[in-house]
Amino acid sequence: MAAADDPQTRAALTGYQAGALRWLAGGLIAVVLGVLLAAAAVAIARDSGRQLPLAGLVVITLVFVGAVAAAAGAGALLRLHRWRRALRTVPWQTGVLRVAGPAVLSFEPQGYDELDPTADPVRLRLTSTAVWRTRAVQQLHDAVVRAAPVGQREWVLTADGVPTLYGARAVRHH
């Protein structure tokens, strides 16, 4: 069965999409507020001759932070589209997740034998830099998770009770 056919996967994709849309919408709102504040500050200065202290800094902050947030949201939506398409063609692999550092992961598929010298776990690096996402994945240390390849070197993972998907890149080991 393809991973996308699983109801939990659909719910996790929906959760990821909701987060992406929040970032995109929040960023766009911040940019619009920055532009409106700039227009108001110019109108007030023109009509009254008074300048609004810190208005320029607030405008620049709103526009810059808003643009970054909107770009993050748009990137997450593109990633979601790529993941959704890939998950329609691959099944979930069940296995144990080992966490070796803040973003360093090792996925041991079901049947993995650490004593077998020819067996290698899938070594991954979490792609998210968000602290809360990194901590959430760290909480999955030694847990049974589901993982699936969604690109040449890209994987997604989730677990029972986890409302979203986490992206990771396969790391070449030496």
Q: Residue 52's pLDDT is what?
A: 85
What tokens were used for 48? 């009254």
Q: Residue 74's pLDDT is what?
A: 97
Q: Residue 163's pLDDT is what?
A: 86
Strand pairing report for 154-158 and 104-109:
unpaired
Of residues 116 and 31, more confidence is placed in: 31
Q: Is the pLDDT of residue 17 over 60?
A: yes
Residues in a beta bridge with 156: 148, 167
pLDDT-derived band at 85, boundaries 50, 70, 90: very high
Q: Residue 173's pLDDT is what?
A: 65
Strand pairing report for 144-149 and 93-99:
antiparallel
pLDDT-derived band at 101, boundaries 50, 70, 90: confident
Residues 12/73/66/162 CA torsion (nearest 10 deg): 20
**Nearest Cα to Cα of residue 76 among 36, 27, 166, 16:** 16
Residues in a beta bridge with 106: 98, 123
Q: Residue 69's pLDDT is what?
A: 97
